[in-house]
Structure formats: structure tokens, C-alpha cells
Amino acid sequence: MKSEFAIICITAAMLCCCSSRRGQTDVSVQNDSLSVGTEEMKDAGNSTLDNDELPNLADIEKRVAEMYDDIIEHYNTDSISNWDSHELYFSDSLKWLYSQLPDDEEVVEVDPWTWTQDYDTLAYIGADVKMAAQDTVIATVHLLLWHENHSYPVVLRMVKEKHSDKTDWYVDDTSNGEHPNWPSVTDEIRDYIKNDKEK
């Protein structure tokens, strides 16, 4: 009797052990499947969002190149007297800020397209464009301004806007790529407006 009882106890213990192990395996398999399923859902959601809503950076690089080709052609041929790059390429916000500047005082002392007051030569080398938000990009433009092999970076913050009947990318701010701590064009104009109001 004792030996039969012992055999029953041992068998019961082994069955419990196997059942417990099998239960743990099932749970971990279920967790793995849930994890894979969740990742697939995330990937599917992101890819749909990316394809439908994020801009094509190559198209924006082309826009920047065309913009600078136009600007440089006018600068190099001194044909800028009846031509307004601000009106063509600035965002509504940046155009408004420039409209607040006085005619008899130079608030922004550098050219916003080159971030310099003078140059020996002016040539567009290229631009690196990165997303900042869904409708905002940062374009680092590389220019040749002097007769040396040193490219000069100008940083443009660009936004997507509709002007007249055309939706495109327009410059919302410019800053010096070599000196990121310097105030941008919009910083300088806003500081001027603020100080002018406080007088």
C-alpha cells in the first residue's frame, strides 16, 4: 500500500511539473506573438503615414537649388534693382517681419541668403535637407563666397505654404551655419520690434 501510494504521489508531482512548464511555454509563445503583432501594426501604421504625409526631401533640395540659382544669377549680374527675392521666396511670416523694419535704419546687417556683407565670388555648391516637423524642414546650404575651397554654410528653416494658387516650400528664417549661437534673421527683427515698442 505504501509503495502504491508513493508511486501515485510521484506520478502526480511529475504531471503537475510538466503542466506547469507547458503553461509557461504557452504564455511565452503568446507574449512573443503579441509582441510581433504589435510591431507589425506599428510598422504598418508608420509606413502609411510616411508615404502619405511626409515630404520628399529630394524635391525640397531641388527647390533650394532652383531658388539659389535664381538668386545668384541676379546677384552676379547686378540685376537686383527691380527684383525682390523676399517676395518670391520668403514665407508670409518672414515677409511680414521684414515689412516692420524702418527704411532709414539697417537692422539686419547681412544678406539673408549669404550671411555676409560682401564676397569675391558667389556659387551654390549644394544643400542638405532634414525634416524638423511635418511641414517644416531645415536646409543647410553650402556656398562658395571667396576664391578658396571653403564652403560657407547658411541654414534655412523652410515651411510649406500656399502663395497665390501655388503650394511650395518657402524660407521662414535664415541663420549662420558656422556660428549656430548667433541670432537668426527673425531673432534680430523680433528683438528690434520689441525694443522699439519699449521706447
For the CA atoms of 143, 148, 150, 153, what is the dihedral angle to 10 degrees? -30
pLDDT, position 131 = 95
| Statement: residue 181 has pLDDT above 50 | yes
pLDDT, position 196 = 77
**Encoded amino acid at 165, one letter:** D
| Statement: residue 15 has pLDDT above 50 | no
Name the nearest CA neighbour of 96 among 189, 11, 2.
189
Q: What are the CA-CA distances from residue 130 to residues 35, 61, 124 (Å)?
A: 31, 10, 18
Name the E strands within 41-164. Answer: 123-133, 136-144, 151-163
pLDDT digits (tens, 9 = 90+) for 20-50: 444 443 433 333 333 333 333 333 333 333 4
Distance separating alpha carbons of residues 47 and 198, to the nearest angstrom: 50
User: Is 0.75 surpassed by the pTM of this model?
Assistant: no
Largest CA distance in the chain: 114
> DSSP states of 101-132 as a string?
S-TTS-SS-S-TTTSSS--S--EEEEEEEEEE
